[in-house]
Chain A
Amino acid sequence: MRLQINGDEHDLDVITLKDVVKHFGLQEGLVVTEVDGTIIDRSNWKDINVQDGMKIELVHFVGGG
């Protein structure tokens, strides 16, 4: 599956959005996802089937003022 994640092309063997988060080894409680410009709540990650060409953003809190 070819996905555009955080601006880069990734070829991943995944079914759901939850799999994507898991693939990168991210702490679920600290990550926020956006799929094609829509924020997806953590509770719905397992219900979102990803498809070729989807644009996914994975963001989190970093140090800042």
Chain B
Amino acid sequence: MTNKLTIAGKQLSSRLFLGTGRYPNPYVQNRAIEVSEAEVLTFAVRRVNLSAPDEDAILQHIEKPFQYLPNTSGATSAEEAIRIARLAKASGLSDWIKIEVSQDEKMLIPDPIETLKATEILAKEGFIVLPYTSDDPALCYRLQEAGAAAVMPGGSPIGTGLGILNPYNIERITEKLTVPVIVDAGLGSAADVTQAMELGADGVLLNTAIAKARNPVMMAEAVKHAIHAGRLSYSAGRISKKKYATASSPIQS
């Protein structure tokens, strides 16, 4: 199916980026990861809980090598995001970083100014920067110009499952940018994923939609197929929408 997704020179066979939070247990998580065929996994960076160090350590449960994409969630400023990014890099596990900066606990809307600032500084430092951002075409373009390796506009607020609230904007973003566009956040089902791909997204990032599905492993499989279907449909080129009917059967007998 069409060409592969390449980010910062790394070729990926899967267009799915998968979050690792909120699964019912490590077994279901591993099965979902396996079935999804995702190659990029996201993580958060947090203090070790010293009274139970293994409790939320995630990597001991992950079975094979992946491209790790740690995030800067919890950061409310560029400065905090930069600190988390440097900590993540010092792990020696990855120099990719998902910038996530928000000052808004209720909506978790990414802060545009701090996100842009962090992207610029970290890209100059040599990080592979993938900023999570709102679906503003002008801002997405600025992030690309600031050195982002891929830009990740949200479909709707994190964890809401509201899908793509502004497909018009997402399509403008995928048309305009030359770096890959990964639709991140808010996708709730396979249909949302297909829509993102039909709008020209190069990939999607999901977490809650899979982790909190009634059957996460089955949803992981559905999403894999949705990406495939959406990408094919995008490449095939949909018909334009018309106001009136056009008969598909010959009119004359």
Residues of A in contact with B (beta carbons under 8 Å apart): 5-8, 10, 24-27, 29-32, 34, 39, 41-42, 57-65
Contacts and interface: CB of A to CB of B under 8 A. Distances in A.
22 contacts: A7-B47, A27-B60, A30-B59, A30-B60, A58-B47, A58-B48, A58-B50, A59-B47, A59-B48, A61-B58, A61-B70, A61-B93, A62-B46, A62-B57, A62-B58, A63-B19, A63-B20, A63-B43, A65-B22, A65-B158, A65-B185, A65-B207
Interface stretch (B83-91, B140-148, B167-175, B229-237): B83-91
Given A58-B50, A63-B56, A64-B42, 11 more contacts: A5-B50, A7-B47, A32-B87, A32-B88, A57-B47, A59-B45, A59-B46, A59-B48, A61-B93, A62-B58, A64-B21
Contacts of B19: 63-65
Nearest to B19: A65
B101 interface: no
Contacts, number: 100
Q: Could you say which interface size class chain B belongs to?
A: 35 or more
Contacts of B88: 32, 61
A58 B60 CA distance: 17
A64 B50 contact: no
Interface of B: 19-23, 29, 42-48, 50, 53, 56-60, 68, 70-71, 73, 86-88, 90-93, 158-159, 185, 205, 207-208
A34 B19 CA distance: 26
A34 B207 CA distance: 29
